[in-house]
């Protein structure tokens, strides 16, 4: 079975801190994604990566950056955390092949910024 | 730009009855894919069913079926014989094929389903 793991289930940080969220997948997937989930808004794409060292902005990239140095690992970075970044963060991965090549999700990280 | 609309923020359904969750989408692409995911209270996202835009038959997976009406741009999820374990958030999503050959998904706002015994 595909497994996507995230470094923390719960995280509490202070405003202005630099925050790293790590995601690792074990199925050699080319594509990896970071979403944030907020009530009523569904999941919104922050960044995604289709290959090592390659990345594209999603719908809400402001305040975030990403890093993909190895195929299995995709990191989300909050350079200076703010309270409006309090949210659930979900990582996902998928292959490049069609179809259905559904996205496989990690368990999520609930981040609170105080 | 693509958009997914789920107009039902929440709904109750009686155990053993069927329930339909609405999803409409907006795209100018000819080739696209539609997905439904389930998110129980534990938080994990569980893939339920997929429909390709060129698939002529409606997708089915066990108790889940997708009522795909291409002209209306709707992709409603039907859950038959609801069970207590079906209580969850349900998300409709559409896949866009980006120039980078990624598999970017756009999600709707979700529908919370509560199954009553």
Q: Is the Cβ pair A100, B33 closer than 8 Å? A: yes
Please tell me the distance in Å from B116's CA to the nearest CA on chain A: 23
Q: Is the Cβ pair B43, A108 closer than 8 Å? A: yes
Longest dimension (CA), chain B: 48
The pLDDT assigned to A95 comes to 84
> Among the ranges A63-77, A95-109, B99-113, which has the highest mean pLDDT value?
A63-77
Q: What percent of chain B has pLDDT over 70?
A: 93
The pLDDT assigned to A34 comes to 97
pLDDT tens-digit series, residues B44-70: 999 999 999 999 899 999 999 999 999
Between strands B10-14 and A54-57, the pairing is unpaired
Please tell me the distance from the alpha carbon of residue B107 to that of residue B105, in angstroms, as a whole number. Answer: 6
Please tell me the distance from the alpha carbon of residue A8 to that of residue A68, in angstroms, as a whole number. Answer: 18
pLDDT tens-digit series, residues B95-114: 876 555 557 889 999 999 99
Is pLDDT above 70 for B2? no
CB-CB neighbors (< 8 A) of A103 in chain B: 35, 45, 47, 103, 105
Please indicate whether residue A42 or residue A76 has the higher confidence score (pLDDT): A76
Q: Which neighbouring-strand residues pair with A70?
A: A73
Alpha helices in B1-117 (DSSP H): none
State the average pLDDT over residues A51-59: 91
Compute the C-alpha angle B18/B24/B29, nearest 5°: 135
CB-CB neighbors (< 8 A) of B100 in chain A: 50, 54, 56
* Two structure tokens written together for B102: 């990624």
Reported as a pLDDT band with limits 50, 70 and 90, residue A19 is: very high
State the average pLDDT over residues A39-45: 90
- Facing residue for B35 by CB, picked from A35, A59, A102: A102
From B54, B64, B56, B83, select the one nearest B23 (Cα to Cα).
B64
State the average pLDDT over residues A45-60: 92
Mark residue A30 as left, alpha or beta (left: phi above 0; alpha: psi -120 to 50; beta: remaining): alpha
Please report, for residues A45, B2, B45, B52, B67, the alpha-carbon distance to residue A89 in angstroms, rounded to integers and kept in the order given.
Answer: 10, 22, 12, 27, 30
């Amino acid at each position: 079975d595909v497994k996507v793991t995230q470094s923390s289930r719960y995280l509490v940080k202070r405003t202005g801190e630099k925050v790293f969220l790590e995601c690792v997948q074990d199925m050699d997937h080319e594509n990896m994604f970071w979403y944030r989930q907020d009530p009523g808004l569904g999941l919104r794409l922050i960044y995604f990566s289709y290959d090592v060292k390659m990345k594209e902005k999603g719908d809400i990239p402001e305040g975030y950056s990403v890093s993909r140095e190895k195929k299995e690992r995709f990191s989300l970075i909050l350079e200076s955390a703010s309270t409006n970044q309090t949210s659930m963060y979900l990582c996902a991965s998928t292959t490049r092949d069609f179809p259905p090549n559904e996205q496989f999700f990690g368990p999520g990280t609930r981040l609170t910024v105080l | 730009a693509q958009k997914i609309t789920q107009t039902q923020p929440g709904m109750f359904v009686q155990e053993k009855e069927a329930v339909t969750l609405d999803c409409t989408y907006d795209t100018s692409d000819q080739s696209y894919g539609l997905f439904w995911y389930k998110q129980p209270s534990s938080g994990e996202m569980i893939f339920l069913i997929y429909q390709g835009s060129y698939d002529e038959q409606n997708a089915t997976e066990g108790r889940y079926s997708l009522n795909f009406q291409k002209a209306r741009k709707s992709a409603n999820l039907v859950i038959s014989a609801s069970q207590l374990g079906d209580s969850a958030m349900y998300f409709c999503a559409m896949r866009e094929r980006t120039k980078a050959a990624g598999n970017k998904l756009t999600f709707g706002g979700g529908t919370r389903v509560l199954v009553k015994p």
